[in-house]
């Protein structure tokens, strides 16, 4: 096991820990900042290990630049107070959630042993390769997504109006 | 060479962290952030498969998922804003109108 594999393990551990931070931090603003760390580190993962440079850049622009800033605006608009999650320790809700998630992870990881094969060498997938497929074979879903986003924008305005 | 099962394990761990957050947190906004975390884990899985097969299809699905996540964020934040205005808080325990 060389330095490349070890660096992937360390990097994956940091990604996982930032995800745990989203769940475990009490203040919602801190949770949102942990999610920012997670999304940015995932973009770096795409760029460095998974040879997807276009997706890494799009992840930064769309997730971090649009969605997360939007969520942070809403959090600061609402003046959300801190949630006390320490008193829920050993509550039925926490025990049920932990049990379900641990069973799920154990099943998937046990199946994962049978997956063989390694990530191929440096075959980068650039924007041209994505566009070749997106605008020929998947052009109908692409147009439908634009209709969906338009409908979502109209629905959001209708929901957030003052007088419902 | 990274074994592809490591990438799958990372994506499953990120997804399970998000699922745990949705199950145990009470704050609606933090639950929403955890849903984004689950989507991110699924994205890592798709890009890992695409890397293993050397094809671009996984990238296309990830692009679609980002667009749908943006639409979902708009709708979800509108619902949370309306809920906050009506109930005075974003804890999901306050939504007990149809509770038996």
Interface contact A19-B18, CB threshold 8 A: yes
* Chain B residues lying within 8 Å of A164, measured CB to CB: 82
pTM, whole model, 2 decimals?
A: 0.90
Among A98, A149, A156, pick the best mutation site for testing chain B contact (most B Cβ within 10 A): A156
Half-sphere exposure of residue A86: CA atoms within 13 angstroms, side-chain side: 3
- Domain residue ranges in chain A: 1-82, 126-164
Cβ under 8 Å to B: A residues 110-139:
112-113, 115-120, 123, 125, 129-130, 132-134, 138
Residues B31-51 pLDDT 10s: 999 999 999 999 999 999 888
**Domain A1-82: which CATH number of 2.30.130.10, 3.90.79.10, 1.20.120.1200, 3.90.550.10:** 1.20.120.1200
Q: What angle do CA B90, B94, B100 make, to 5 degrees?
A: 150
For the segment B16-26, the average pLDDT, to the nearest whole number, is 90
> Which residue's structure tokens are 């929403």?
B32
Percentage, residues of chain B above pLDDT 70:
100
Task: Tell me which of A120 and A28 has the higher pLDDT.
Answer: A28
Instruction: Quickly count: other Cβ atoms within 10 Å of residue A155's Cβ.
Output: 15
- What chain B holds in terms of domains, given with CATH numbers, is 4-89 (1.10.287.3510)
For the segment A56-84, the average pLDDT, to the nearest whole number, is 86
Residues B55-64 pLDDT 10s: 888 999 999 9
- Which has the minimum average pLDDT: A77-81, A93-97, B9-13, B43-47? A77-81
Q: What ipTM describes this predicted complex?
A: 0.92
- The shortest CB-CB distance from B71 to any of A113, A116, A149 is to A149
- Contact predicate A63/B68, CB 8 Å: no
Amino acid B88: pLDDT: 83
């Amino acid at each position: 096991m060389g330095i490349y594999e070890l660096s992937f393990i360390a990097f994956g551990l940091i990604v996982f820990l930032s995800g745990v931070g989203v769940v475990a931090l009490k203040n919602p603003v801190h949770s949102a900042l942990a999610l920012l760390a997670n999304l940015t580190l995932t973009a770096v993962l795409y760029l460095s290990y998974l040879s997807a440079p276009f997706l890494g850049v799009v992840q930064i622009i769309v997730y971090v630049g649009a969605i997360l800033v939007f969520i942070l605006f809403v959090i600061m608009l609402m003046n959300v107070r801190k949630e006390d999650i320490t008193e829920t320790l050993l509550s039925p809700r926490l025990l049920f959630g932990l049990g379900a998630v641990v069973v799920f992870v154990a099943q998937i990881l046990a199946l994962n042993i049978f997956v063989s094969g390694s990530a191929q060498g440096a075959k980068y997938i650039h924007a041209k390769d994505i566009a070749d497929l997106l605008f020929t074979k998947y052009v109908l879903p692409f147009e439908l997504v634009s209709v969906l986003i338009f409908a979502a924008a109209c629905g959001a305005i209708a929901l957030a109006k003052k007088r419902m | 060479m990274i074994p592809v099962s490591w990438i799958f394990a990372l994506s499953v761990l990120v997804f399970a962290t998000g699922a745990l957050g949705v199950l145990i947190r009470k704050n609606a906004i933090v639950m929403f952030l955890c849903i984004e975390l689950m989507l991110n884990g699924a994205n890592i899985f798709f890009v890992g498969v695409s890397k293993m097969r050397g094809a671009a299809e996984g990238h296309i699905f990830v692009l679609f998922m980002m667009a749908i996540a943006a639409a979902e964020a708009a709708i979800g934040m509108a619902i949370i804003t309306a809920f906050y205005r009506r109930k005075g808080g974003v804890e999901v325990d306050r939504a007990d109108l149809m509770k038996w």
